[in-house]
């Protein structure tokens, strides 16, 4: 597709978000808009030049939407299958989502395997879906070409490094799309996506932020050579690089969600030990716009105890600044929380 045709197609998808109805089999944590986008891609854009890969599919919501789109695709003769990967092992954090998803239909205990239940749920799509139980922390040699890569599995730096090594070499220049599902989010576990897409910015172009979601869509435009197919460790990124990376990342988010990316920057600065820069970021975030989403303010507050303990362990009697700066950030968050409650 040309740049113009990509833009036109994205605008068509925008028009369809408000009327979209997800497949009945779409049980999961992704939003209706995200499901609409992936289904529209599989139906309208997918050519069959490479595979569709769904990383971290959980209970298969994105897999179902992709499969329904494939079913309606009249022009792709090859690779008409969604390859979905996950551990399919229940963890404690999933309990809260199970409570919210009343139609899940079953309750699980920690370490239960739920792969058979996902397979049964997606059985109506037949050969359009394959499910593989796989630990994505274990890199494997790259497979055949990939035309569409949906990533909802970069929940740690190690996972990001393994995913890049295993899947990015299979991308097709000027053809492949990568969706970073956790891109417009702030939690430290997901921040590798921001730094990765900035690091590879000469090889990808930003296409679309799916509205009211965390998903950002990128098109692969220029082949990566073997030395570039990597996610450097966090220590690689200098303070100047972090500023540049988050200016790039914020530009990929719609205005209503850009504060989540800015909060992500604050946490990455804390991760790297740049306490003064993190405090300056906190002041910019909270003092300029106090009307922040309550879930963002509350989530940030819950994370700060970890950084208070870390700062205390790094503080010496000669340099008490780390703790004082973290405490100042906590004060800003508390004030923002109080402001939210009053309104």
| pLDDT band (50, 70, 90) for residue 99 | confident
- What pTM does this model have? 0.94
| pLDDT band (50, 70, 90) for residue 46 | very high
DSSP secondary structure string, 122-142?
TGGGGGGEEEEE--TTS----
Q: Please, are residues 92 and 122 in contact by the beta-carbon 8 Å criterion?
A: no
Q: What is the mean pLDDT of the chain?
A: 92
| pLDDT band (50, 70, 90) for residue 148 | very high
Per-residue model confidence (pLDDT) at position 316: 61
Q: Using one digit for the tens of pLDDT, what is the confidence trace for 263-305?
A: 999 999 999 999 999 999 999 999 865 678 999 999 999 999 9
Q: Using one digit for the tens of pLDDT, what is the confidence trace for 247-260?
A: 999 999 999 999 99
Is 115 a residue whose pLDDT tops 60? yes
Per-residue model confidence (pLDDT) at position 12: 92
Q: Please, are residues 25 and 122 in contact by the beta-carbon 8 Å criterion?
A: yes
Phi first, then psi, for residue 177 (nearest 5°) are: -120, 140
- What average pLDDT does the segment 184-198 reach? 97
Per-residue model confidence (pLDDT) at position 1: 64
Is 318 a residue whose pLDDT tops 60? no
Per-residue model confidence (pLDDT) at position 201: 97
Q: Please, are residues 122 and 60 in contact by the beta-carbon 8 Å criterion?
A: yes
Q: Using one digit for the tens of pLDDT, what is the confidence trace for 123-133?
A: 999 999 999 99
Which secondary structure element, helix H or strand E, spans residue 208, and what is its range? strand 204-209
Angle in degrees, 0-180, between the axes of helices 192-199 and 157-167, rounded to the nearest 10: 40
Q: Please, are residues 179 and 217 in contact by the beta-carbon 8 Å criterion?
A: yes
Per-residue model confidence (pLDDT) at position 312: 86
Which residue's structure tokens are 């921001």?
194
Write the CA distances from 189 to 26, 152, 155, 157, 276, integer angstroms.
Answer: 25, 12, 5, 8, 22
Per-residue model confidence (pLDDT) at position 105: 67
């Amino acid at each position: 597709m040309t740049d113009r045709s990509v833009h036109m197609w994205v605008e068509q998808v925008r028009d369809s978000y408000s009327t979209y109805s997800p497949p009945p089999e779409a049980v999961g944590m992704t939003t209706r808009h995200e499901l609409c986008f992936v289904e529209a891609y599989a139906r309208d854009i997918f050519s069959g030049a490479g595979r569709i890969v769904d990383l971290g599919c959980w209970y298969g919501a994105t897999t179902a939407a992709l499969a329904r789109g494939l079913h309606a695709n009249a022009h792709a003769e090859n690779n008409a299958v969604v390859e979905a990967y996950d551990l399919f092992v229940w963890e404690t954090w999933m309990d809260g989502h199970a409570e919210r998803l009343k139609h899940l239909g079953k309750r699980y205990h920690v370490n239960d395997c739920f792969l058979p239940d996902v397979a049964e749920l997606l059985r109506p799509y037949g050969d359009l879906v394959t499910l593989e139980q796989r630990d994505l922390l274990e890199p494997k040699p790259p497979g055949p070409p990939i035309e569409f890569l949906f990533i909802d599995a970069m929940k740690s730096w190690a996972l990001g490094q393994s995913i890049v090594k295993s899947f990015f070499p299979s991308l097709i220049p000027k053809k492949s799309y990568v969706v970073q599902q956790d891109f417009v989010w702030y939690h430290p576990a997901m921040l590798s996506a921001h730094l990765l897409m900035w690091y590879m910015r000469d090889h990808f172009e930003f296409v679309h932020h799916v509205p009211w979601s965390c998903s950002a869509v990128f098109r692969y435009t220029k082949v990566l050579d073997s030395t570039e197919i990597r996610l450097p460790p966090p220590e690689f990124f200098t303070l100047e690089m972090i500023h540049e990376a988050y200016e790039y990342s914020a530009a990929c988010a719609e205005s209503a969600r850009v504060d989540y990316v800015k909060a992500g920057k604050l946490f990455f600065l804390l991760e790297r030990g740049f306490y003064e820069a993190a405090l300056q970021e906190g002041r910019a975030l909270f003092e300029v716009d106090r009307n922040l989403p309550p879930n963002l303010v509350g989530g940030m507050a819950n994370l700060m105890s970890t950084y208070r303990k870390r700062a205390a362990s790094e503080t010496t009697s000669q340099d008490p600044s780390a703790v004082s700066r973290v405490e100042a950030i906590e004060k800003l968050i508390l004030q923002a929380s109080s402001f939210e409650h009053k309104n």
